[in-house]
Structure 1
Amino acid sequence: MKNVNPTNLMKAGALAAMAAAPLMAATTAFSSTPADHVTAVKAPCEAGYVCIYPGNSADGTPIKFKRYGTYNLRNQRGTHLVVNNQTGGAALRLCRAYNGQQCGPRLGRGAYHVNLTPINSIVLER
């Protein structure tokens, strides 16, 4: 086995930790909400829309939202695939109360697996 300098190992470990820090920060941010970000999901959600699929995959017909504003959700239980395909940096917020109250952080463009059981409304915003 090749001799390894302990200083280089510490540097490599520090670099790995620094590289993982943004990912861990994003995971921590999302774990405080009911959303877990998914980066490799391809879902047929048209540009400019937010789509909520009936399950945790892109199967089935989604509920679609296009205009900025607050939308109350009804009878959405369990984990769903939520796709934010809005343009121009628009975001989505998941809210625990109706009428856009008690909202979590802004979720940018992307696909998310979300437990919608505690979510009662969503907000589409610029």
Structure 2
Amino acid sequence: MNEAKDVEHSPWAVFLIFLRLGLTSFGGPVAHLGYFHAEFVARRRWLGERAYADLVALCQFLPGPASSQVGMALGLQRAGYRGALAAWAGFTLPSAIALILFALGLARHGDALPPGVLHGLKVV
């Protein structure tokens, strides 16, 4: 019984949970906060409604994207500093890899796109 609890508190477990969220959560920071609420308050019960609301309020007060800060705080709470790093990496890696692959594809096959499409992406 104790081993299962230790595994749940490992940085690797935190990484895998946040990786799944990073692969399936679309939208901006506000949407991510909703996904985090569903996963960590409603489903996993890592913290209660009040504690989550307080954490979100604190992270919105700080500069930077609140969802990244909430994710790192949840990882920190669950598995220490390694958990914070695992949460950040797991949630951020899917987007970073997708952007890198997109940029490499544009560098290699960018002339296949009409010029207006690429200009529109740059503007956005």
TM > 0.5 between the two?
Answer: no
Bigger Rg, which one:
1
Higher strand share: 1
Point out the structure with the larger helix share: 2
**TM-score normalised over the length of structure 2:** 0.25
TM (normalized to structure 1)?
0.25
